[in-house]
Structure 1
Amino acid sequence: MPAQPLDTTTATALVTAATAAPTLHNAQPWRFRFRSADRVLELRADLDRAMPHTDPDNRALHLGCGAALCNLRVAAAHLGRSAEVRLLPDPADSHLLATVHIVDTDRPDGDLALLFPAIERRHTSREPFEDRPVPAGVQDALRDAAEREGALLVFPDLWHVESLLDDIRDVEGRDLVEPERLEELRRWTRIGTESADGIPERAFGPRKTGGRAPVRDFAGRRTVPGRPAAVFETTPHLALLGTIDDHPADWLRAGQAMERVLLLATHHGLVTSLTSHSLEREDLRALARDPGSAMGFVQMVLRLGYGPSGPGTPRRPIGDVLEIV
């Protein structure tokens, strides 16, 4: 017997979970279309929210949309359904990033369903983390989570961490002399106001007065009244997430892996943040990879640890991102 149409309430719940995903500067560059008759959700890139100077290839845009796909799959499993994903299904339409067929199943993915509570709890933390290690067993679980999504997760050794931190300091200096990048940053940061997108000042975190955590200062040279200052960890715990190849489908897989790792880390009591700062420069991105691994291309640097969770950031109204037909 053919499957019954999926009700729009459930479809809306799936997209609500999807849009909790992290994106570069919280731009939320996605649009969803629900075809109720055949139980299919389409995910499209919203290029009005692209960043041509910071993200000229739309790599970060694909990563964020991939993270939204992961959340959608987690929410489907939580509801006892399965989400069958096709990446880039139409070669003639590069803006159509994925189609997701929602099907009934008597065996939903329990590992994904377990992560559903973490969707609401996962927030980027730009606060200082404690100087204590991530247990080896948790690291192994996070590596496995990335591999299940077709990506690799590597915990670099100390010399590699030092190199990554040097590259981030390098790019911070470059940004100051490139007005186009600074203008894009200003477009997506909110000081003294709130919006349905972008980074609000309450999520900037404290101004760093010591330590070496790779936390981008979204205030730049602007004054944020009442913003505190803090010393960050001296030995940040970083992980490299990457892929063997470097095409749009790989970026979407990496985005799904990134979010699955972040959700599992949250489930294990870790707080997280992301840094793509040095990866936004091709010469520095090439230096980020670990020569001892099979990872050909680093897609994201994760900062993991123990400490205060960051605040939630705003999301666009579902009516602005979801069309139901």
Structure 2
Amino acid sequence: MEKANGTAGVNFILLGLFNHTPAHRFLFSLVLMIFLSSLLGNGLMILLILRDPGLHTPMYFLLSQLSLMDLMLAATTVPKMAASYLLGTRSISPAGCGAQIFLFLTLGGGECFLLAAMAYDRYVAICHPLRYAVLMNQRLCLHMSTGSWLLGAADGLMQAAATLSFPYCRSREINHFFCEAPSLVRLACADTVVFEFFMYVCCVLMLLIPLSLILASYSLILAAVLLMKSNAARRKAFATCSSHLAVVGLFFGTIMFTYMRPKSHHSVAHDKVVSAFYTIFTPVLNPLIYSVRNKDVKGALRKWMEKYVM
């Protein structure tokens, strides 16, 4: 078959996540409800942190950035998937595909580093409480947040540009519900071994560097907590960290399962389900985890409801 010149002018086809069976229609409705709940939960979290002076602290500033990333991550994939399923418009332009790859990697990579910044915040709060205001100042928070966005964007830009530079002359059907770089590269009619190795190294670095920082922070936290003589202080420290650890476990666990398995263990069906978990389900869990276990957030929500709802 004759090679196409790049990807210009020819659309890709997203095969999607669901078929038009009663069971899949129910699952699609469930995903749509979860997506709307994610938008509402993360949007409300951002609003509460912005409006309540009691939440104007480094921890909640970083949490607002996490909610923004989660909100955008869900919005990057679900609307197109829903439009494809409901309207039958499964085609996506190369530009649209590149935008999805860029945004997905920017937000996913940025969230990895942001979770590492949040772990450092907890380390300072527990191990150096008297110096917290100095060590975790506004300037550092802005630098950590901006750095997370920029590192994710650099990874997203490189991989999106490299992925779309390949000629695609085979079937342009992507067996996924959004444009993900590994799924797209499988369709290329060029030697992609070097790029796949580069992509794998990038994913490992984007995952292992933040995860190493998180593990180092929590190792120091655990050592400090074990030295505490007060049981109340220990319980407070564990309560402070438990929400963040739950989010870290969910996010890193699913992404590492997808990207760090040997190629021979990959299954397209399993990959789609796992991708759905961390792009659709995880974003709705994060605000729930932080709100249910956090007295400050629950108090801010109560004050907001008393003022505007009741």
Common fold: TM-score over 0.5: no
TM-score scaled by length of structure 2: 0.27
- TM-score, normalised relative to structure 1: 0.26
Give the structure with the larger strand fraction: 1
Computing the radius of gyration over CA atoms, which structure comes out larger, 1 or 2? 2
